[in-house]
Amino acid sequence: MVKLSDEMKEEFAKMKIFPFATASKDGVPNVIPIGMCFLQEDAETIWIVDNYFHKTIDNMRANPKGAIYVWGPEIKGCFQIKGDIKIVDRGEDYDAMRKMVKAKSDHFPAKLLIKMKITDVFECKGGSDAGKKLL
C-alpha cells in the first residue's frame, strides 16, 4: 500500500474538516464533510468515524472505495487520497475508535469504524501537474 510522506502527514494533521467522496454501485457520487478522520501511525491507513452516514454507508457497502482531499487556507498544497474501504463494527480497533470518540464528546454515536487503506495520492492543485500521481 501507499504511505504518506512526512510533509503530507503534517498537512493532514492541520485539517479540521475533510471532504469525503464515495459512489454507489451504479457510480452515483456522494460527497460529505467529515470531522472525525484520523491518519494512523503507519501513515497507510485512515480511520473515519461513522457518526451520521446514510448514503455514504450504503455506497461503501456496495462499492468499498473512497477519496478525501487535503486542502485549505492553512495547507501549503493540495492532494487527493484514494483508498479501499473496510467497515468495522466490532473488535479491538472498533473499541479503540469508540473510546477515542467518546473522550471527545458523548454526543457522537460512533456507530462504525471505516478503515481506508491508502492506494493512491494525486496532486489536486491547478497547473501543469494537476492530477499527477504523487504516490
Query: How far apart (Å, rounded) are the C-alpha atoms in residues 78 and 31?
Result: 17
pLDDT tens digits in sequence order for the chain, 135 residues long: 699 999 999 999 999 999 999 999 999 999 999 999 999 999 999 999 999 999 999 999 999 999 999 998 888 889 999 999 999 999 999 999 999 999 989 899 999 999 999 999 999 988 888 899 999
Q: Which residues pair with residue 39 across a beta bridge?
A: 46
Give the CA distances from residue 20 to residues 49, 79, 121, 129, in Å, rounded to whole numbers and listed in that order.
Answer: 11, 13, 14, 22
The CA-to-CA distance between both ends of the chain, in Å, stands at 10
Query: How far apart (Å, rounded) are the C-alpha atoms in residues 83 and 81?
Result: 7
Residue type, 61: R
